[in-house]
Structure 1
Amino acid sequence: MTAPFPEPHFAISLYCSDFRNPAPQVEYLNTVADTYHVDIMDGHFSPSMGLCTSWIEQILPLSTLRNEVHMMVTDPDHWIDQLVAAGATMLTPHVESLGAHAFRTLRIIRENGCGAGIAVNPLTSFAECEMLLERVDLVTVMTVEIGYSGEPLIPETLRKIEQLARFRDEHGLNYEIQIDGSCNEKNFKTMREAGADTFVLGNTGIFKRDPDIRKAWAMTLDAYEQATGEKTANNR
């Protein structure tokens, strides 16, 4: 199977981090994780509100990892300049909000020096994102409904992960398949077997395991390895 890297990668959802004192968590996770996953929500496209740009501006300078912003917003173009200025290195708008100007928005993201991703909601079909796949570095598959932390996996989304992995192989592409939603020991194995490269770790993935982020991280890696039988490269 063609993939951007052979081992699983882990993205940390800053939306689930300790807002009272995030710096120590970020400083440790810099040494072990692969990506920070940053949720922006406008209260329109998503029923919830995500991280504000002023908070992001304060926290991302502490990051030494890739800073990927998941844009759960109605008008992605409105946010690009703000997020680039705040420290984003990859921007991931939703297919459902790109509309008729999808190619233009992805081009603008790249012109701003960022990687370009797309995200797809559970009900959005593979066919609706197929034309964009040659233009992106990352595809985020939502395996839960957006705006609701802690929701169970929607198993029908596994079929879309398989389609994305198959299309990548058949066309010699190299986009990363990232899974957002219910990434934990209940689902790691089926997600990985479907073709997942990167797992977004939120409350059930890491932060609710233990208040000590070092212990929580060790528990997460152990949970992944026990569930999949696959060793990771992140225990460094």
Structure 2
Amino acid sequence: MRTQISPSLMCMNLMEIKQQLAVLDTRADFLHIDIMDGHYVKNITLSPFFIEQIRPHTKVALDVHLMVEEPTDFIEVIAKAGADYICPHAETINRDAFRVINQIRSLGKKVGVVLNPATPVSYIHHYIHLLDKITVMTVDPGYAGQPFITEMVKKIEELRDLKARHGYNYLIEIDGSCNQRTYRTLLEAGAEVLIVGTSGLFNLDDNLETAWDQMMDNIEQAKGALRESA
């Protein structure tokens, strides 16, 4: 499967948002939008209004990550704003997971779930077959630029093996420290979608087109190393 790329828009240069969206619109598979409420994590980033503002300017799927304590307060408004994927944290929905999944589906949106580093795959066992995407946090949520948590490799492998064994359709997505140092490890473990932020994309070069090309070169080098070791 081709590796899919999801740039994290909270890491982009918001002073050049129109130009950078134009670059990403012809290259990215998803645009990753973090919604933080200042409670679930001690940070506040993008908003439903941000989704509404960029929706007319891109054809790329908008993938919304809800780092909020009460996802149901946001689901309908971000759906109306133009989200394509709505992805709450498993820890915030397990008391009413099936109701939340049904709500997202009823709005015509894809359903994702995000797993914190300390949350096992077994936590979502009873509804894993209903998911379009599972995001493995390889850093603790809330801030960009944190170090990669190596223990998450086994979680990615577990999701890969479950998907193959049962024929599940979810995408395996990685959020946190996706960059030249981790690409080989992540791809070997079974990662299918890479969320790239400062270290993986935006800080590689001031020119986003050049930065994108450098990122793709880094990913291809990682794939080449895997082929050589096979």
Q: What TM bracket, shorter-length normalisation?
A: over 0.9
Higher helix share: 2
Q: Does 1:144 align with 2:142?
A: no
Moved more, 54-63 or 138-147: 54-63
Residues of 1 paired with 2:124 and 2:97: CA distance? 10
Residues of 2 paired with 1:50 and 1:138: CA distance? 22
CA RMSD of superposed structures (Å): 1.2
Shift of 1:228: 2.5
Residues of 2 paired with 1:24 and 1:85: CA distance? 25
Residues of 1 paired with 2:213 and 2:16: CA distance? 20
Q: Match for 2:85 among 82, 90, 96?
A: 90
* Partner of residue 135, structure 1: 130
* Partner of residue 13, structure 2: 18
Residues of 2 paired with 1:174 and 1:7: CA distance? 15
Say if 2:184 and 2:225, in contact at 8 Å, map to a contact too: no
TM-score (norm 1): 0.93
SS in 1 for 2:64: strand
* Partner of residue 112, structure 2: 117
Residues of 1 paired with 2:213 and 2:104: CA distance? 35
Residues of 2 paired with 1:229 and 1:137: CA distance? 29
Q: Match for 2:26 among 8, 28, 31?
A: 31
Shift of 1:174: 1.3
Q: What amino acid sits opposite 2:9 in the alignment?
A: L
Q: Does 1:156 align with 2:151?
A: yes
* Partner of residue 41, structure 2: 46
* Partner of residue 208, structure 2: 213
Gaps of 5+ in 2: none
Residues of 1 paired with 2:46 and 2:164: CA distance? 35
Q: What amino acid sits opposite 1:222 in the alignment?
A: D
TM-score (norm 2): 0.96
CA 178–230 in structure 1, closer or farther in 2 if over 3 Å, else same: farther
Aligned sequence identity (%): 38
Gaps of 5+ in 1: 1-5, 232-236
Q: Which has the higher contact order (CA 8 A, sep 6+)?
A: 1
Residues of 2 paired with 1:61 and 1:151: CA distance? 32
Q: Match for 2:71 among 76, 79, 100?
A: 76
* Partner of residue 103, structure 1: 98
* Partner of residue 234, structure 1: none
Q: Which runs of at least 4 in structure 1 moved beyond 2 Å after TM superposition?
A: none
Residues of 1 paired with 2:176 and 2:211: CA distance? 18
Q: What amino acid sits opposite 2:16 in the alignment?
A: N
